[in-house]
Structure formats: structure tokens, C-alpha cells
């Protein structure tokens, strides 16, 4: 509990500047709750292939953030992210189910 009245706080990100300027629709929201990832998403694309492109774009953004905020290089961060993706594809860490989306 982080709030003054013991209400849990949610530390959400702001929408990117281009979204605030031109609009759009949110397709993915991921949060960490007690160490586990909680996700909501919309299908959003006609072809699932596009999700693969999106995930690579996200991985590259994450690698840049690691490079900016730690002593790790962008290439090293991306290599570790890639290793995590490959490991999770080979041995899924989320055996749950998806029953509803926004």
C-alpha cells in the first residue's frame, strides 16, 4: 500500500507526445503487480505478423533505455532481451489463459 489512505498506487506512464498531439488508440498496457506482469491488449492488426514487428520495436526501445540508464551498451541489452525472448518461447513462463481483452 503506497497511498496515504492505504489505497494501492498505480504508477502509470504518460501517453507519448505524438499521441497527445494527434490522437490514436492504446493497443497494449503492461504493468508489474507483485512481481508478475499484468497485461491488457487489443488485437489491433489484421495480421499477427505485425505483433512480431511491434515486439522487436519494443525490444529496441527497451535496449535504448538500458543504454541510457545503465552502463550496458544498447547491443548488450538487446542481446539479453533476445535471449529472454528465445528462452520464454522455448519454455513459456506464463501458462495462464486469455479470456477477455479491452
**Per-residue model confidence as pLDDT tens digits over 1-36:** 555 678 899 999 999 999 999 999 999 999 999 888
Give pLDDT, residue 83: 97
Question: Under 8 Å CB-to-CB from 51, ≥6 apart: which residues?
Answer: 45
Q: Tell me the whole-structure pTM to 2 decimals.
A: 0.80
Other beta carbons within 10 angstroms of residue 67's beta carbon come to 16
Of all helices (H) and strands (E), which one includes residue 74? helix 74-90
Give pLDDT, residue 100: 56
Q: Is the pLDDT of residue 73 over 80?
A: yes
Tell me: the pLDDT tens digits for 87-99? 999 998 776 666 6
According to DSSP, the residues that pair with 28 across neighbouring strands are 41
Say if strands 36-41 and 28-33 run parallel, antiparallel, or are unpaired: antiparallel
Alpha-carbon span 46 to 51, nearest angstrom: 10
Amino acid at each position: 500500500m503506497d497511498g496515504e489512505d492505504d489505497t494501492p498506487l498505480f504508477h502509470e506512464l504518460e501517453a507519448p507526445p505524438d499521441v497527445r498531439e494527434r490522437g490514436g488508440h492504446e493497443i497494449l498496457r503492461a504493468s508489474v503487480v507483485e512481481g508478475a506482469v499484468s497485461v491488457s491488449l487489443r488485437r489491433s492488426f489484421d495480421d499477427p505478423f505485425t505483433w512480431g514487428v511491434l515486439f522487436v520495436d519494443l525490444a529496441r526501445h527497451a535496449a535504448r533505455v538500458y543504454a541510457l540508464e545503465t552502463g550496458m551498451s544498447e547491443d548488450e541489452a538487446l542481446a539479453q532481451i533476445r535471449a529472454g525472448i528465445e528462452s520464454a518461447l522455448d519454455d513459456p513462463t506464463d501458462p495462464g489463459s486469455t479470456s477477455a481483452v479491452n
